[in-house]
Each structure stands twice: as C-alpha cells, then as structure tokens.
Amino acid sequence: MARLAAWARIYLAPSLHDLAWVPLSIFLAYWLRFNLGPIPTSDRAGMIMMIVLAIVIHAPLFYQFGLFRIVWSFVSLPDVLRIVRSVGLGVLAVSLAILIVQRAEGVPRSVFLLYPLILLFGLTIPRVLMRAAIGRKTRLTTQDQQRVLVVGTGNQAERALRNILQSSRYMPMGLVAESPDMGGREIHRVRVLGGIADIPDLVRKLDVELVVLALEEEGRKSAGEIIQFCASAKVPCRVVSSSEHGGDGLNGGDWALRPVTLEDLLFRTPVALDASATKEFIRGRRVLVTGGGGSIGSELCMQLAANGVGRLLIVDSSEFNLFQIEQNLAQRYPNAPATPLLGDIKDPAAMERLFEAFQPEIVYHAAAYKHVPLLESNPIPAVVNNVLGTRNVAQAADKYGCTHFVLISTDKAVYSTSLMGATKRVAEIFVQCLNDRSQTRFITTRFGNVLGSAGSVIPIFEQQIANGGPVTITHPDATRYFMTIPEAVSLILAAGSIGFGGELFVLDMGEPVNIREIAEKLIRLKGLEPERDIPLVQIGLRPGEKMQEELFHHWEQSVGTSHPHLMIAAGQDSNYGWELLGEGIASLESAAKAGDFEAILKQLKTMLPEFREAMAKNVERAKEVDSA
C-alpha cells in the first residue's frame, strides 16, 4: 500500500496534472476568444473535437519527453525546454489533425495561438513555484548552513551558485566581482556586493563562514590576492572544482569544493592537449617505463593505462615504490595489463634479460637521480645511474628493436652548474648520437620542476610550515620553472607520439616563478602570514644550484611543432662525435669504478665546456651574493 501511495504521488499526480491542463487550456482559449462570455453553440462541437484530439496526441508526447518524470522541486531550464518542445510538437500535430478531421470548422484561429500559451503556462508555472517554495523552506528551516561568499561573476560562478542554492549545506550571502562595473548586479537573485578588496569587510559584516572561488581562467591571477584577503579576515577559502578531483560534493552533482592549492596561485593555466594522437600511438603496444614508481614514472604509468596500453612493463629499483604503483594501478585501472619488474638500470645484464624476455616496443626512461645538492657529494652514483644507466637501457632498446625511446631530461642540463645537470646533459647527447646509428627513434624531452615531486622544494616548504617554520629559501631573487606532474606527463606522451627521432623537445613551462613568492603563497594557504607567523630564512644557494634556470643553450633555437606547448631545441653542439663520446663515457665509467671523484669532475668538464664555464660563473656569483 505504501509503495502504491508513493507511486501515485510521484508519477500519477503529475500525470493527471499535466493531462488536465490540455482540455483546460483549450476551454480557456475559447473563453478568452469570446471575451469571457458563453461559448456559442456552433463552436462547442469543434471545441470538444479539439479537446479529444489534443488529449490523444499530447498524452504520448508528454510521456515520450519525460514530463511525468520531472521532479518538481528540482525543475531546471533544460526541463522547461523539454516542456516547450513537447507542447510545440503537440500543438502542430493537433492543428494538423483538426484541419484533416473537420477542416478547422468551429475552431477560431485565435484558439490556435491562445491554447499553447495557456498550456505552457499551466505546465511550467506550478513546477517553478513548487521549486521556489521548497527551496525557500529549506533555506529557512536549515539551522547549520554555512554562510558563503562567492567570488566571481562568470559561468563558473553561475554554476556554483546554482548548486549552492540547491544544497542544504550552504547559504549564499552575496557575490564578489573582479570588475568594479558589476556592482549591484544579480545572479540567481544573489547580489554583487563589492570587489575583491571588500572581502574582509563583507566577511565581518555578513558573518561569512566560507569564501568560494569560482573564477574564470583569466581571473586566476587574482587568486593570490583573494587568498591574502581571506587570510586577513581569518575565513577559510575553497575552490569550485569537478567532484572527481575530490572535495565536498554539492547536491550530489558534478561540482565540488576543494581546498586551494599552489597550482591555483601560480598564474598559469594548466596545459591541456588533445589525447587522440597519444591514444593512437599507445593503444595495444608493449610499453616499458623505467623508474615507474617515481613521481613522473608513476603518472606515466597511470596515463598509459588510461590510454589503452597493450602491456605495461614497470621497472623500479625500489621495492616499496614498485608495490605502491602496482596497488594504485590495480585500484584505478584494474583491467590494465601491468607487469611490475624489480630491476636496476645500473645493471646492464639485468636490462638485457628484461628486454629479451618482454620485447618492449616503446620505452619511457624516467629513472634518474635528480636531487641537486645531494648528488654534489655523491658524484659516483650520479654518473653510474644517470649516464651509464641511460646507456644500458638505450643500448638494450636499440639491440632488441624498440620503435621509440623517450628520455626524460631536465632544464638543469642547460649550462649546468651541478653534477646532476651535467650527467643528464651527457645522457641527452648520448641518445641523440645513438639515434643516428639506430633504427629506434630516440627522443628527448626537457622540462623544469614539477609540483609535488619527491624531494622538490614544494614538499619541503610544506613540511617546514607544518613544523611551525622557519621556511628556508636559497635567495630572494631565485626563480624556477614549474608545472604539474599530469601536464608534464601528457606533454611527454605527446612528444613521443610526434617525434621522428633525434629531436630534443622542450615543454612549455610558462614563466619562471620566484621561489620566495612560492613560499609566501604556501604560508598564506595555511591561513598564516609570512614573517609574522612563519619566519623566512635566507640560506644562500646550495651546492650546484643556479639563481635562474634556462631551457635552451645558446646554439639551440626554439622551433614550433604541431603542438602549441611543445618546442624543439634545434641545433646540436658540433663538439660531439660518436667515437669521442664513447671515449668520454668510458673514462667516466673507469673513474666511477675507481671511486675517483676528481677524475669524474675533470672528465665532465672536458666533455661539457659549458659545464666548466657555468660552474666558474656560479662560483663568482655565489661570492657576490655572500659579500652582499
């Protein structure tokens, strides 16, 4: 009985309501036609025939367009458009039928105009009033709603506001506009109360408990200023995001609120590429990822799995990292054919066995030691892993007929002042030279820092802030290039798919970002104030570090590609030939086996004149900084 009552309330009542409006709208159309007086006897037969035909025609159309399934309390513009289309099609059909049946005798022409307007009114207005009444009742009776101030007046703000109004968790108190000429305007009856600078006053006057950022892409440059105002007002701030990226779901829909991240404050729009070419390149093929458990490697594995890889071979020397990426893949892509392989690129025999057994077609070489100051005091592992390890994997790829080999390099290879950068530069030269002697397409990708990668500056800053400070910065003028791990990997995959072999692709990193500014933004993200709550301490450039990173050598020219965010560093240093390079790497290998640090450093300076010169300039610059 309860189920029958629920069915009647949910489906039968709306159906009867909608069908009742069909004869009522025709009757009212006739009544209006005759100035609210009696309908002449000569026209009553035509009215009755029209009512019968209208019910027969409109009923299946209402069902087909799903009018009976619309939940009145959540009626929206798409629902209203469904009603309009249903009524419009029905009116055309009724008009045609009445012309065929009785040549429109007894049906005044004004009725054909009045009855659809009345029917539209009758089907939409009750639904809209019901939604308004229920929404108002919900807002008045909910006691624990958060008082929200929404920043933005564009499409993002409109969508967010619509979800907030439907939610029982939030109460919108007003809008904040970036443009001063928006004052007094309204969106969904919520008024624009001021600009960004007014946030602290509005928070205090309206007792706001949460500020929601719903900015368009062009407005993201204001995010840092907004965070600062929110911090001064001691009110939390959230960003409108797709719920799939985590956060507090709004009304169970696709929108969510998530905490502000550093990516929101870096003044750059994340790079988004058309993945169709990558999917075509990857689908169904055996792909090997070295360093597959690292920051870049693990994201490579995720995106490869998402793009339909035929067999994913994951190599890592860390048992924990390998276990972790295996578990993450199993959770997100349970059907991805992944094979975790515990192995070390420094072992040439192990790489031989691996390539012979699994016959990979594409290799992404992400395995590398990358911590600059740490490798300054560990030159032997740096050479063995970054140079000899790259040689081992690249030669195995050549021997066993891989179609593509993609080396992941770094901006620190350009005019390097560090052992890490120098070893990566030698690796770049090696794969470019090997490309000229191989059927395998050897491709190099070069980019700067990625946000959140293991051992990078961002996690270090976050840990220092969590510990109450101080936050240590190398130099107030130091800058670095930054991008997110997912966008870096998407560009790496794109480079592999369009490369013909021998190219050195440079990823579009945007503008370099000041390190001190990053530290200050991270502190404000925690609702704290730099220097007042968390001290900043300058410690000077660490061994091997540069003040500013670069993406190109002077002999390299930036050449555009079919992808707007991928460039080619065209031109190679003429100092390197295959024989000379082989001798240099052999000397590095001998020095590493002998544990001779000085011999390693001397050989790197011999192979890389720019490394020798850059180190000398960096020493002079460090002396100037210290004296200042």
Query: Residue 60 and residue 427: Cα distance in Å, rounded?
Result: 71
Q: What is the CA radius of gyration of the chain?
A: 34
C-alpha dihedral, 49 to 55 to 61 to 65, nearest 10°: 140
Give 189: exposed, middle or buried? Use CB within 10 Å, 0-12, 13-18, 19+.
Answer: exposed
Same domain, yes or no: 96 and 112:
yes
Question: Is 398 contained in some domain?
Answer: yes
Structure confidence at residue 393 as a pLDDT band (50, 70, 90): very high
Same domain, yes or no: 77 and 126:
yes
Same domain, yes or no: 92 and 147:
no
Mean residue pLDDT across the chain: 82
Mean pLDDT of 79-91: 84
Question: Is 316 contained in some domain?
Answer: yes
Question: Which stretch of DSSP H or E encloses residue 521?
Answer: helix 515-525
**Beta strand extents in 448-532 (DSSP E only):** 449-451, 471-473, 479-480, 482-484, 504-507, 513-514
Same domain, yes or no: 83 and 178:
no
Structure confidence at residue 539 as a pLDDT band (50, 70, 90): confident
> Does pLDDT of 6 surpass 50?
no
- Whether a cis peptide bond, with omega within 30° of 0, leads into 180 is no
Quick count: other Cβ atoms within 10 Å of Cβ 492? 26
Same domain, yes or no: 215 and 282:
no
Structure confidence at residue 230 as a pLDDT band (50, 70, 90): confident
Mean pLDDT of 540-561: 82
In the block, residue with structure tokens 């597959």: 292
Same domain, yes or no: 169 and 123:
no
Same domain, yes or no: 240 and 346:
no
- The pLDDT assigned to 588 comes to 94
Same domain, yes or no: 357 and 494:
yes
**pLDDT tens, position by position, 57-77:** 888 888 888 777 676 655 667
> Does pLDDT of 204 surpass 70?
yes
Quick count: other Cβ atoms within 10 Å of Cβ 501? 18
> Using CA of residue 580, residue 582, residue 587, residue 588, what is the dihedral sign?
positive
Mean pLDDT of 444-456: 77
- The pLDDT assigned to 221 comes to 62
Question: How many structural domains is the chain composed of?
Answer: 3
**Cα 374 versus chain centre, distance:** 32
Question: Is 208 contained in some domain?
Answer: yes
For the chain, what is the total number of helices (H) and then of strands (E)? Answer: 22, 23
Same domain, yes or no: 202 and 242:
yes
**Cα 480 versus chain centre, distance:** 21
Q: pTM here?
A: 0.68
| Final residue belonging to a domain, choices 121, 139, 157 | 139
- Pair 497, 277: CB distance under 8 Å: yes
Same domain, yes or no: 183 and 245:
yes
- CATH of residue 255: 3.40.50.720
**pLDDT tens, position by position, 20-32:** 888 888 888 888 8
- The pLDDT assigned to 243 comes to 44
Question: Is 523 contained in some domain?
Answer: no
Of the candidates 551, 516, 546, which has an alpha carbon nearest to the alpha carbon of residue 534? 516
> Does pLDDT of 86 surpass 70?
yes
- Domain of 222, in residue numbers: 142-260
Question: Is 456 contained in some domain?
Answer: no
53 or 254: which leads in pLDDT: 53
| Final residue belonging to a domain, choices 230, 260, 290 | 260
Structure confidence at residue 445 as a pLDDT band (50, 70, 90): very high
> Does pLDDT of 139 surpass 80?
no
> Does pLDDT of 622 surpass 50?
no
- Pair 344, 350: CB distance under 8 Å: yes
Same domain, yes or no: 134 and 160:
no
Strand 513-514 to 449-451 pairing: unpaired
Range scoring the smallest mean pLDDT among 83-97, 294-308, 519-533: 519-533
Strand, coil or helix: 374 = helix
Most distant pair of Cα atoms in the chain: their distance: 115
| Final residue belonging to a domain, choices 139, 162, 191 | 139
Please report, rounded to a whole number, the percentage of residues in the chain having pLDDT higher than 90.
Answer: 26
Same domain, yes or no: 123 and 208:
no
405 φ/ψ angles, rounded to the nearest 5 degrees: -135, 120
Question: Is 465 contained in some domain?
Answer: no
> Does pLDDT of 405 surpass 90?
yes
Question: Is 519 contained in some domain?
Answer: no
Question: Is 530 contained in some domain?
Answer: no
Please report, rounded to a whole number, the percentage of residues in the chain having pLDDT higher than 70.
Answer: 83
Mean pLDDT of 314-323: 95
- The pLDDT assigned to 266 comes to 62
- Enumerate residues 6+ apart whose C-beta is below 8 A from 274: none
3-state helix, strand, coil in the chain (%, to 5): 55, 15, 30
283 φ/ψ angles, rounded to the nearest 5 degrees: -55, 125
Mean pLDDT of 467-483: 85
